[in-house]
Structure 1
């Protein structure tokens, strides 16, 4: 009948949508696949680590095996009060990062919303952004001593200028049509900032804070390497003096695990607070 009507016969396979390729560019993967692939990488990593160390290809002096690392980690928790060190490091990261966010987010919003403020602050902030936080440690020790304030200030300096510039860019890239529409409806300058710029930029600001939190972990370890009597960085320094690579590696892994948990928590909170941003 299809030949009589002048219509080419269709194949069953042509009626079905083309199969999506798992490795196609920008092709999403399921949550289960993502989990399996993530776990597979860690399995491969630890497997290669075990082969090179347990197989005798690397000296234990330079790299401990996974088994030795696990034993040293257990000793850290049971005999050396490592939980206290973890608690002190987490407190320093959270404290310094929160201080930086409290200062940086309002300044970044002001710079992004008002070009005059941006012209006044941007050169200085850009200059400070390239200064390594570790370079301030000698001065901070002179100013604040070896206490907690010195370590909080290292994290603060390392984070605040990055957040300011990133937030300013986010706010400055707001849609101009929304701003003009708000002015047409009678919004004031303050109303534009409060009701258009800040709500529109809030999801990206939260994502920026999540990224900078990862940088804060690098600063806290630097701060704890000098003049500290507690913290993960202090433990790593003591282990280095004893050539105990098992404890050093365990401390590094603990930092990564804590960062991974905090990152996942940040993502969860952002999704709850800004669920509508996924529809943009």
Structure 2
């Protein structure tokens, strides 16, 4: 029995169609406005107690106060430096390992199963061990972020390597190139656009591990201030810290996207 599938013409909504940048921006702004309006209604109407859901104005007030006394700038810089250190260490360690895993089957068999095991372990459970291994200083906080993103990065880089077309690799071997030459002259340049997207995602995860990292005997930082405010049920400060982390994460994400477009203009959208 034959089944015929016919496409309906004239439909207004089609799958995977593109929209203009202006319309995209308007819809993106609308989503934030809707959430903000819903927040305002819930917090001011009495449906939710302001102890648990402060008004947007209360959060803005805490933000302005923190901005004026300089504490927000200081804590932001401290947290950002921790994020950057953990992120750079993950790149230095994870990218070479990921390239080897994606390039050689024996390395993949040896490394990838162990990596897949570690990536599902809860990072907060390692905090006591990290404190024993590296102490309670800055190194411990960076180590938490590193541990949280390293084992996510390795398989992503390996997948980036495997996405390189085999015909490029075979052509290089046909021309007499050695394996090391193929890696550095063919695989790495070809995988760079996707690698940048992987690093963009990893940076987002790094921000999510910030609060966990600042559990380790911290006395400053955005995550520390959220935890400190929690003890006193200071929900405006909690919301302020969460929103600042979200905004910083969004800014870094947009910067990665812009950098990718600037460096790899030849990649099709």
TM-score, scaled relative to structure 1: 0.89
- The whole-number CA distance in structure 2 between the counterparts of 1:262 and 1:80 is 22
- Bigger radius of gyration among the two: 1
Are the equivalent residues in 1 in contact too, given 2:131–2:216 (CA < 8 A)?
no
Q: Which residue of 60, 78, 88 maps to 2:78?
A: 88
Q: Which residue of 34, 40, 50 maps to 1:50?
A: 40
Shift of 1:76: 2.0
- The whole-number CA distance in structure 2 between the counterparts of 1:204 and 1:31 is 23
Are the equivalent residues in 1 in contact too, given 2:140–2:216 (CA < 8 A)?
no
Per the alignment, in what secondary structure is the counterpart of residue 68 of structure 1? helix
The answer to whether residue 242 in structure 2 is matched with residue 242 in structure 1 is no
Residue 60 of structure 2 corresponds to 70
The answer to whether residue 153 in structure 2 is matched with residue 167 in structure 1 is no
- The whole-number CA distance in structure 2 between the counterparts of 1:269 and 1:92 is 22
Residue 129 of structure 1 corresponds to 119
Shift of 1:35: 0.8
Shift of 1:201: 1.1
Residue 109 of structure 1 corresponds to 99
Q: Which residue of 257, 267, 280 maps to 2:257?
A: 267
Residue 175 of structure 2 corresponds to 185
Paired residues, number: 261
- The whole-number CA distance in structure 1 between the counterparts of 2:24 and 2:170 is 42
Identify the range of structure 1 (165-174 vs 209-218) with the bigger mean alpha-carbon deviation: 165-174
Q: Which residue of 131, 135, 147 maps to 2:137?
A: 147
Q: Which residue of 34, 38, 41 maps to 2:31?
A: 41
- The whole-number CA distance in structure 2 between the counterparts of 1:58 and 1:124 is 46
Shift of 1:80: 6.5
- The whole-number CA distance in structure 2 between the counterparts of 1:20 and 1:115 is 48
Are the equivalent residues in 1 in contact too, given 2:141–2:213 (CA < 8 A)?
yes
The answer to whether residue 201 in structure 2 is matched with residue 211 in structure 1 is yes
- The whole-number CA distance in structure 2 between the counterparts of 1:248 and 1:262 is 21
Per the alignment, in what secondary structure is the counterpart of residue 124 of structure 2? helix
Are the equivalent residues in 2 in contact too, given 1:134–1:219 (CA < 8 A)?
no
Shift of 1:19: 8.0
- CA deviations 1:159-215 (Å, max 9, x no partner) are 111111111122123212222222222222222112221111111111001001111
Shift of 1:98: 0.7
- The whole-number CA distance in structure 1 between the counterparts of 2:65 and 2:163 is 52
Are the equivalent residues in 2 in contact too, given 1:133–1:154 (CA < 8 A)?
yes
- The whole-number CA distance in structure 2 between the counterparts of 1:80 and 1:139 is 34
Unmatched segments (≥5 aa) in structure 2? 1-8
